[in-house]
Amino acid sequence: MAQKKDNVELICNIGELAGLFEHSESLTEFLQKIVSVVAYHMSASVCSVYLLDESGTNLQLIANQGLNPNLVGKLRISRHEGITGLVLKELRTIRTGHASLHANYKFIPESDEEKYESFLASPILRGLNRIGVLIVQDTEPDYFTKNDANALHAIAAQLAASIENAKLFMSLHEGDDMRIAETTDPKSPAKALYQGACASKGIARGRATIVGQTDSFLRLSEEMELRHCTVDEFREALQQSEEQIEALQKQLDELYADVAALIFSAHLLILKDRMFSGEMIDLMSAGRSPQSAITEVVNRYVDLFSKNSNPRFQEKVQDVKDVGHRILHNLLHGEDLAPDYGGEIVIVGELLPSHLVKFATQHVAGLIIVGGGVTSHVSILARSMEVPVILLDDSSIFDVREGTPILLDATSGTAYVDPSEEVTNQYLDIINVHQQVAFDDTEIPGTTTTRDGQKIHLLANINLLNELNLAKKFQAEGIGLYRSEFPFVVRRGFPSEEEQYRIYRKIVTTMQPLPITMRTLDIGGDKMVAHASFLDEANPFLGLRALRFTLRNKDVFKVQLRAMLRSALDADLRLMFPMVASVDEFLEACDVTRECINELKEEEIPHCETPIFGPMIELPSAVEVVEELAAESGFLCIGTNDLVQYTLGVDRTNESIADYYVPYHPAVLRSLKRIVTAGTQAGIPVSICGDMAGDPSMLPFLIGIGITRVSIDVRLIRKVQQTISGIDRKNATVLADEMLSKGRISELTSLVGTQNDE
């Protein structure tokens, strides 16, 4: 037996779980390896995995080490029976040193488990959906520690995604009919220029790659049919694809540990699926070319997944297309050309946050999303990963020939198809300038002041962990907004306390001793998580979002709060609650946090005992009670994007009414002034974030009303610092007073961005 460990680093390491997954041929084999590894690292005599059956009424023993092996696959217990059933019912980890004395103990004949008194079990969940239970047992009473409980809970969370994906593919072959998708004829010819909307700014040039048509994977090109490929070459391409995806997962773990979460597991399952590759080989044996066989089978899966009523399958459509793209690429080009999306402009019909992460990891040059809008999370992720993205309504771009040069100007929302040499040269000059700015190592001053010496604190908005080094490079004076939802957005389940703790701890250790503001989970509206079917509402912007969601789901809320508090030991932690609508909501969130602090004290777990609480002011109702909120808070933060949206009743994601979204509307300006005044009178700091905070035309007004803390995208720090250095505070105050005196938008248009510098 291995020596018992007191830390969870090894046993819940995602890299180790990924390795087990990569080298397993089936769900059963994967889980059997898991129970062996967990039992070894925890020095446990027994480890078991129970999964809910398709009916959702019984738990079935799927993998085990230590009990009677004849029960694996045969033993079923009611989901309401025993300690195991209680774990799933109450969705909590249960640890007992004397299982036979537990009120819910259930004896199972022929299991040989009566001698194992120590019992530790955690639920396996995907979001709020129950999947199964992970259990360890030992003969020594009181054998498992609190640290072991944290470790097992983290492992159960890591397992959930792979188990669900594997179960999907198993059910796919049990009952679904495989149909060949019918490709539709182009409705209109491709054009030379497309004008859309910007989702993530930037300029890129590359070859067109169609991976996003909803009706099929692709159409065979003459080049593909002319190239002669053998079955052996196909097998090599298949093996090469698997090795590449395994390497991508490892690379993703290193670069984006906060959103990695075995994100390529579905790709590996598809490649390991014997029916997927087997049907291709059968078609080749019947005389079809490998290219034709790959295309037909991938199109079958795309059709099957897209028409399946299970939304889990629908989400795998893009994964199947991605795998097909990779196999074909390896088959046609071998090692001569990289199989990822480097140098390619991908045209896609729908894009989940997880798909964006996959494309970014594979070095995509840019993205064109066709049809429908894009969520805030996709836009923010794209900006954080520096991927230019535009949105188009014109589906004729799907008829662009693969490999056609495309120049993507995501600053103006323009896509040039096969651009002229003149247009290309113009943009090459712009690209060169952007690259020079990106690599500018000019030292940035550690403090920011207006022209007349007023200090302004520039704080960083952080979305992903990889932005922390940029925040330090640009000398941000702390984190004014950490958007904590991204580990939730990319995964298909809520990350465990241990997973969240590791992410938050990385932020704290990187940025200490600077102040760190962590915003609790903000989902709903245009900020959706992959598993948010429970948030499918008629009007999501006015529904169960942000603080409303977490207060309604306190188990999810407390897991996040505990992780944040644990991570910030000896740190300057500010906890910010989003979308606060009333003083009552804010105080309830503070009370839940204090409950977590007391629980951590009782459990003797080190944590931050004195976080500073603050509301995010984004709703008109919060503005109306801002004086009362300020009296109960340690700080205020203005979220300008939603404040403008809700004050004016304008959906900021709706391009057809974009001209109604006016940040300098008199009602917005007066709300901003009232918030700052309330903070000043209460003697607490007021910060501002959102697009307005980085807008040079609005900064004179903001400084004029007394804003001294600005939280912005880290990439804007240099630009905003330069803008602020040219502003005279006294003149800005005069300008702000004049703007506040105006009641019409037309009167304010000429004042925005001006300042009396005389």
d(Cα 39, Cα 47) in Å, to the nearest integer? 6
User: 518 vs 48, 250, 495, 579, CA distance in Å?
Assistant: 37, 28, 16, 14
d(Cα 135, Cα 120) in Å, to the nearest integer? 6
Tell me which residue of 487, 480, 473 sits closest to 256, measured CA to CA: 487
Strands 573-577 and 203-210: unpaired
Identify whether 513 is preceded by a cis peptide bond (ω within 30 of 0): yes
563 and 600 in contact (C-beta within 8 Å)?
no
Where does the pLDDT of residue 541 fall: very low under 50, low under 70, confident under 90, or very high at 90 and above?
low
Cβ-in-10-Å burial (0-12, 13-18, 19+) of 346 comes to buried
Tell me what the mean pLDDT of segment 35-40 comes to: 86
Q: Which are the contacts of 235, defined by CB distance < 8 A and separation ≥ 6? A: none
Q: Which are the contacts of 699, defined by CB distance < 8 A and separation ≥ 6? A: 710, 720, 723, 724, 727
Tell me what the mean pLDDT of segment 175-186 comes to: 40
Tell me what the mean pLDDT of segment 665-675 comes to: 97
pLDDT of residue 19: 56
User: Does the pLDDT at position 473 exceed 70?
Assistant: yes
- State the greatest distance between any 2 C-alpha atoms of the chain, in Å, as a whole number: 91
> DSSP 3-state helix, strand, coil percentages of the chain (rounded to 5)?
45, 15, 35
pLDDT of residue 127: 65
β-sheet bridge partners, residue 61: 50
pLDDT of residue 220: 46
Tell me what the mean pLDDT of segment 159-171 comes to: 66
User: Does the pLDDT at position 10 exceed 80?
Assistant: no
Fold exhibited by the domain 193-437: Glucose Oxidase; domain 1 (3.50.30)
All CATH 3.50.30.10 domain ranges of the chain, comma separated, are: 193-437
Burial 204-229 (b: 16+ CB within 10 A, else e): bbbebbbbbbbebbbeeeeebeeeeb
To the nearest whole number, what is the mean pLDDT of the chain? 82
Within 13 A of 140's CA, how many CA atoms are on the CB side? 7
User: Does the pLDDT at position 468 exceed 50?
Assistant: yes
User: Of 19-23, 205-209, 421-425, which range is least confident?
Assistant: 19-23
DSSP 639: E
Among left, alpha and beta (phi > 0; psi -120 to 50; other), residue 43 is left
User: Does the pLDDT at position 40 exceed 60?
Assistant: yes
pLDDT of residue 289: 85
pLDDT tens column, 727-737: 999 999 999 99
pLDDT of residue 464: 84
| CATH class in words for 448-749 | alpha beta
Tokens found for residue 318: 């893009």
Where does the pLDDT of residue 487 fall: very low under 50, low under 70, confident under 90, or very high at 90 and above?
confident
**SS3 state of residue 605:** coil
Tell me what the mean pLDDT of segment 403-417 comes to: 86
575 and 518 in contact (C-beta within 8 Å)?
yes
Which phi and psi angles does 649 have, rounded to 5°?
A: 65, 40
Q: Which helix (H) or strand (E) holds 502?
A: helix 497-511
pLDDT tens column, 425-453: 777 766 665 555 555 556 778 899 999 99
d(Cα 577, Cα 584) in Å, to the nearest integer? 13
486 and 258 in contact (C-beta within 8 Å)?
yes
pLDDT of residue 402: 81
Q: What is the dihedral of CA 489, 495, 499, 501, to 10 degrees?
A: 80
pLDDT tens column, 336-386: 566 678 888 999 887 777 678 878 888 899 999 887 556 666 777 788 788
Higher pLDDT: 416 or 378? It is 416
pLDDT tens column, 621-668: 999 999 999 999 999 999 999 999 999 998 776 767 778 889 999 999
Tell me what the mean pLDDT of segment 222-238 comes to: 73
Where does the pLDDT of residue 474 fall: very low under 50, low under 70, confident under 90, or very high at 90 and above?
very high
Which amino acid does the sequence have at 706? G
pLDDT of residue 429: 67
Tokens found for residue 674: 């009232």
Distance of CA 181 to the CA centre of its chain: 31
pLDDT of residue 530: 45
pLDDT of residue 2: 41
Q: Please, what sign has the CA dihedral across residues 171, 175, 180, 186?
A: negative
Tokens found for residue 442: 């000019």
Strands 448-449 and 455-462: antiparallel
643 and 689 in contact (C-beta within 8 Å)?
no
pLDDT of residue 269: 74
d(Cα 270, Cα 280) in Å, to the nearest integer? 13
User: Does the pLDDT at position 520 exceed 60?
Assistant: yes
Percent of the chain surpassing pLDDT 70: 79
pLDDT of residue 260: 58
pLDDT tens column, 78-137: 888 899 999 988 888 999 999 989 999 988 888 888 889 999 999 988 766 788 999 999
pLDDT tens column, 269-323: 777 777 788 888 888 888 888 888 888 888 888 887 777 766 666 767 778 888 8
| Alpha-helical runs (H) found in 308-441 | 311-314, 317-333, 353-361, 376-384, 421-438
User: 448 vs 40, 474, 719, CA distance in Å?
Assistant: 54, 12, 11
d(Cα 142, Cα 117) in Å, to the nearest integer? 8
User: Of 221-230, 253-262, 350-359, 404-413, which range is least confident?
Assistant: 221-230
pLDDT of residue 28: 75
Where does the pLDDT of residue 578 fall: very low under 50, low under 70, confident under 90, or very high at 90 and above?
very high
Tokens found for residue 307: 């028409």
Which amino acid does the sequence have at 704? G
d(Cα 372, Cα 135) in Å, to the nearest integer? 44
pLDDT tens column, 496-515: 888 889 889 999 999 999 99
All CATH 3.20.20.60 domain ranges of the chain, comma separated, are: 448-749
Q: Please, what sign has the CA dihedral across residues 626, 629, 630, 634?
A: negative
Q: Please, what sign has the CA dihedral across residues 424, 426, 430, 432?
A: positive
pLDDT of residue 757: 45
d(Cα 726, Cα 172) in Å, to the nearest integer? 63
Highest mean pLDDT among 148-157, 178-187, 200-209, 425-434: 200-209
User: Does the pLDDT at position 478 exceed 90?
Assistant: yes
d(Cα 436, Cα 243) in Å, to the nearest integer? 36
450 and 456 in contact (C-beta within 8 Å)?
yes
User: Does the pLDDT at position 600 exceed 70?
Assistant: yes
Tell me which residue of 128, 138, 55, 37 sits closest to 95, measured CA to CA: 138
β-sheet bridge partners, residue 52: 59
Q: Please, what sign has the CA dihedral across residues 630, 635, 640, 646?
A: negative
Tell me which residue of 744, 703, 745, 711 sits closest to 727, measured CA to CA: 703
User: Does the pLDDT at position 529 exceed 70?
Assistant: no
171 and 163 in contact (C-beta within 8 Å)?
no
Q: Give the full edge-to-edge strand order of the sheet including 46-52.
A: 76-78, 58-65, 46-52, 129-138, 118-126, 94-96
All CATH 3.30.450.40 domain ranges of the chain, comma separated, are: 14-175
d(Cα 30, Cα 169) in Å, to the nearest integer? 14
β-sheet bridge partners, residue 616: 637
Tell me which residue of 200, 197, 202 sits closest to 654, measured CA to CA: 197
pLDDT of residue 698: 96
The pTM for the full model equals: 0.68
**SS3 state of residue 611:** coil
User: 238 vs 151, 292, 602, CA distance in Å?
Assistant: 36, 15, 54
Q: What is the CATH number of domain 14-175?
A: 3.30.450.40
